[in-house]
Amino acid sequence: MWSLDWGSEDAWILLNAELEPGSGWSDLSVLVPIAALGYDQKKYVYFVTESGNEYPHNGGFEEWALQDVDRGCLEVTKVVDWQGVDPDPEQTFYVDVIYPDGVITITLEFDYTGGTQTVEGLMPGVYTVVEQDPGAAWLVSGSTYPVEVTTDSACAEVTVTNTYNFGCLSVEKVVDWNGVPEDTAKMFYVDVLDADDMLVGTLEFG
């Protein structure tokens, strides 16, 4: 909740009904910081006002209306680098766009090919783009990225890149000659297979 009496002293707004009399006309504007009300555009703002407390009325009623502000947009590009392995069509990635007040405004879903999505109608401010954890198989760059959205005609832009993370395997070869003379020309070969029994590589030991 935001109150005009935000400090230690009472505060009020002095209205003059003679400025522009009549219903539907704007006499003045009252500016309330967006940060005080929150950035979630799905929530309502309830406005409560009292008249005549400090000065007597000189008008029969007062009308208030919300004056919309210019908005901006954010373009999020997802780059997926499979590093030469066969892409998994079931792979999905999720990127959160977070309001300046810490509330998640929208979650974008990207498939295994990546792509670009645009979020429209954002209030001006500094947003944070964060990718949800895609798992140990992926290296992520560009996530947890602050980006300023303005009312300029061009959208703010951010790119989040996922690179397939190859693991590693260490193989130690132990040879026990069991007392016989060592054959220095003897070679040993170890095949490494993947989960589908496909040959990944062959290791050579002397």
Is the model's pLDDT at 41 over the cut of 70?
no
Domains annotated for the chain, with CATH where assigned, are 1-67 (no CATH), 72-164 (2.60.40.1140)
pLDDT, tens digit, 9 for 90 and up, residues 86-128? 999 999 999 999 988 777 778 999 999 999 999 998 888 899 9
pLDDT, tens digit, 9 for 90 and up, residues 138-185? 999 887 778 999 988 899 999 999 999 987 888 899 999 999 999 999
Q: How many CB atoms within 10 Å of residue 33? A: 8
Where helices occur in the chain by DSSP H, the ranges are 34-37
Lowest mean pLDDT among 52-61, 131-140, 151-160: 52-61
d(Cα 14, Cα 52) in Å, to the nearest integer? 10
79, 161 contact by CB (below 8 A): yes
The letter for the amino acid at 163 is T
134 contacts: CB under 8 Å, gap ≥ 6: 93, 140, 162
Residue 58: band (very low, low, confident or very high) from pLDDT cuts 50, 70, 90: low
